[in-house]
Chain A
Amino acid sequence: NAGVTQTPKFRILKIGQSMTLQCTQDMNHNYMYWYRQDPGMGLKLIYYSVGAGITDKGEVPNGYNVSRSTTEDFPLRLELAAPSQTSVYFCASRREGMTDTQYFGPGTRLTVL
Chain B
Amino acid sequence: GQSLEQPSEVTAVEGAIVQINCTYQTSGFYGLSWYQQHDGGAPTFLSYNALDGLEETGRFSSFLSRSDSYGYLLLQELQMKDSASYFCAVRDRGNRDDKIIFGKGTRLHILP
The answer, among B31, B45, B104, for a CB contact under 8 Å with A103, is B45
Within 53-109 of A, Cβ neighbours of B (below 8 Å) are at 56, 58-59, 90, 92, 94, 98-107
When distances are taken between beta carbons in the complex, the residues of chain A under 8 Å from B110 are none
Minimum C-beta distance from B73 to chain A (A)? 15
Contact across chains for A59 and B101 when beta carbons are under 8 A apart: yes
Chain B residues near A (Cβ < 8 Å): 30-31, 33, 35, 41-45, 48, 50, 87, 89-91, 96, 98-105
When distances are taken between beta carbons in the complex, the residues of chain B under 8 Å from A35 are 102
Q: Can you list 15 A-B contacts with CB-CB less than 8 angstroms, sorted by A residue number?
A: A42-B104, A43-B87, A45-B101, A45-B102, A48-B99, A48-B100, A58-B99, A90-B42, A99-B48, A100-B91, A101-B33, A102-B35, A103-B45, A105-B42, A107-B42
Chain A residues near B (Cβ < 8 Å): 31, 33, 35, 41-45, 48, 50, 56, 58-59, 90, 92, 94, 98-107
Contact across chains for A42 and B33 when beta carbons are under 8 A apart: no
Contact across chains for A102 and B98 when beta carbons are under 8 A apart: no
Minimum C-beta distance from A66 to chain B (A)? 14
Contact across chains for A100 and B42 when beta carbons are under 8 A apart: no
Contact across chains for A42 and B105 when beta carbons are under 8 A apart: yes
When distances are taken between beta carbons in the complex, the residues of chain A under 8 Å from B45 are 101-103
When distances are taken between beta carbons in the complex, the residues of chain B under 8 Å from A59 are 101
Minimum C-beta distance from A77 to chain B (A)? 20
Contact across chains for A43 and B43 when beta carbons are under 8 A apart: yes
Minimum C-beta distance from B60 to chain A (A)? 15
Given contacts A103-B45, A106-B42, contact A33 B31 (CB under 8 A): no
Query: What's the Cα separation between A50 and B96 when bound, in Å?
Result: 9
When distances are taken between beta carbons in the complex, the residues of chain B under 8 Å from A92 are 43
Query: What's the Cα separation between A43 and B35 when bound, in Å?
Result: 11
Contact across chains for A100 and B99 when beta carbons are under 8 A apart: no
